[in-house]
Amino acid sequence: MELNLNYQEIKGIIRKDFNTVAERFNSIGYHLKKVRDGELYKEDGYKDIAEFALKEYGVSRSNTYRFMQINEKFSVGGDSLELLPEYAGFGNSKLSEMLTLDEEELKLVTQRTTRDEIREINKTHHAQDDTPVAPARQVAETIDFTQSNTDFDSTQKEGFEHLVNVAFEFFNDKNMREKLKELGQAFRKDISDLENEVLIIINPSKHTTFRKGMLIVFFEESVIKVKKFGDITREFTYTDFLRAAGETYNLNTGDPWVEKFGEPVPEIKEPEKKEPEMKEPPKKETPKKAEPPKAETKTEEKPEVKETEENLPGQMDIKEFPEYLPEEAEKVEGEVITEDAQEELQEDEEETKESEEIETEERGQQVHELKTDHIYFADVLTNKKPFELRRKDKDFQVNDVLRLHEQIDGQPTGRTTDRLVTYILENYTGLVDGFCILGIQPV
């Protein structure tokens, strides 16, 4: 039935999918591919699928190709409306992050894996050196304590070395000292369910990620997945992990961590520095004005004073007492400001600036949580859109942080990004009252 759909029907399906929740992204990618492969977009005069998606649905070029790539990589047969069972319920944001993972790296990901953990896999992937990638082969079976050392060395020696490195790095932190002691106690006891005991010590949450250099590890409920980039993904049990820890730490001693590294050097706490109390800016002292001379009963002629004549020390200028100037005296446009007046104005400006800086320091940097549509979110990520047009319903200040939450049809995708406010434009001709433009850049 899908093959008989015409162009207009396919357009309607895509629009309907955009109006539902984000789980319809696979269907969107599938139908976008139909429009692309059949060049149906030409019926409306569009030059390619990207222009079609942008004009018809407001979807950016990058998101258009991302939808189609998700369908190609994660749907049954690479071209269907049904996601592969192992990826059902993953969500758009996680699958988008998984697009760059290879088949071996995908084995590390489960439904409990978070988007940030997938990003860690990507980071380690991009940081790997030029070591050639080992050919994919079946993951070897996990270690069994009952097998002989000869069998063990021949089947899992290379992979077990990775696990030994993981165990060493996992406890190579003084904060892990107590956990290593607990592991040693479990090792020395005759515990019937040793596997579960180690799980409780190492991974009480039943989902923990650990990364060190080229190694990334996922501690799951029933298995430990170890991936060294450039190599295959290997799976181990928690009993395997206990044996690996015993290869590098002496678990028969009461405190294996101290035996390996010695007593940790106690931290020398520096005396707490008391923050200086914020004092009000010093008020500028102004000289007290002399009392005006009392009016005498006798009428005396005022001596004529030349304008070019300088005042003697202590002598007051009549301009300092405007209340005694004639009423008809007005300030003339272009009046020259004396050097003393300029200094006073400069001091006032410095005091105002200092007061504003103190006020800003007391307020501190604020983080504003804001929603943004996925169309604009993509452009912000690529720095194509270095600004935000926002309603002034928050106290935005330069150096504040905008935490943008991606939305599709009002539903959050889980993706966020932080941007630093570098400039604020408001009360400008053309701007609607109550709105402002914020210049932003990556934090």
Copy the structure tokens of residue 227: 């991936």
Domain count, the chain: 3
The last residue of a domain, from among 262, 288, 305: 262
Assign 441 to helix, strand or coil: strand
The last residue of a domain, from among 51, 80, 99: 99
Copy the structure tokens of residue 184: 């040693």
91 with 148, same domain: the answer is no
Residue 421 lies in a domain: yes
Assign 92 to helix, strand or coil: helix
132 neighbors 249 (Cβ within 8 angstroms): no
| pLDDT recorded at residue 136 | 31
130 with 248, same domain: the answer is yes
Q: What is the largest CA-CA distance in the chain?
A: 128
Per-residue DSSP letters for 251-280? TTSS-HHHHHH-SPPPP-PPPPPPPPPPPP
Check the CA dihedral 418-421-422-428 and report its sign.
positive
Residue 268 lies in a domain: no
Angle (CA) 315-316-318 rounded to 5° is: 140
Residue 247 lies in a domain: yes
| pLDDT recorded at residue 101 | 83
Per-residue DSSP letters for 138-184? PPPPPP-TTS-HHHHHHHHHHHHHHHHHHHHHHH-SGGGHHHHHHHH
pTM attached to this predicted model: 0.39
Per-residue pLDDT of the chain (443 residues; tens, 9 = 90+): 456 788 888 888 876 665 444 457 788 889 999 999 999 999 999 999 999 999 998 888 888 988 898 889 888 898 988 888 888 767 777 888 888 888 888 888 887 888 888 887 777 655 554 444 333 333 333 333 333 344 434 435 567 777 888 888 888 888 888 888 888 888 887 777 778 888 888 888 777 788 777 778 888 878 888 877 677 888 888 888 888 888 889 888 888 888 888 887 776 666 666 655 555 555 555 555 555 555 554 555 555 544 444 544 445 555 555 554 554 444 444 444 455 656 666 666 666 555 555 554 556 789 999 999 888 888 898 888 999 999 989 989 999 999 999 988 788 888 899 999 999 998 888 888 889 999 999 98
141 with 246, same domain: the answer is yes
Tell me the CATH number at 379. 2.30.130.30
Copy the structure tokens of residue 249: 């730490």
DSSP code of residue 301: P
The CA R_g of the chain, rounded to the nearest whole Å, is 36
State the distance between the two ends of the chain, measured CA to CA, in whole angstroms.
50
| pLDDT recorded at residue 144 | 36
152 with 232, same domain: the answer is yes
198 with 220, same domain: the answer is yes
| pLDDT recorded at residue 369 | 94
Residue 192 lies in a domain: yes
389 neighbors 424 (Cβ within 8 angstroms): no
DSSP code of residue 355: H
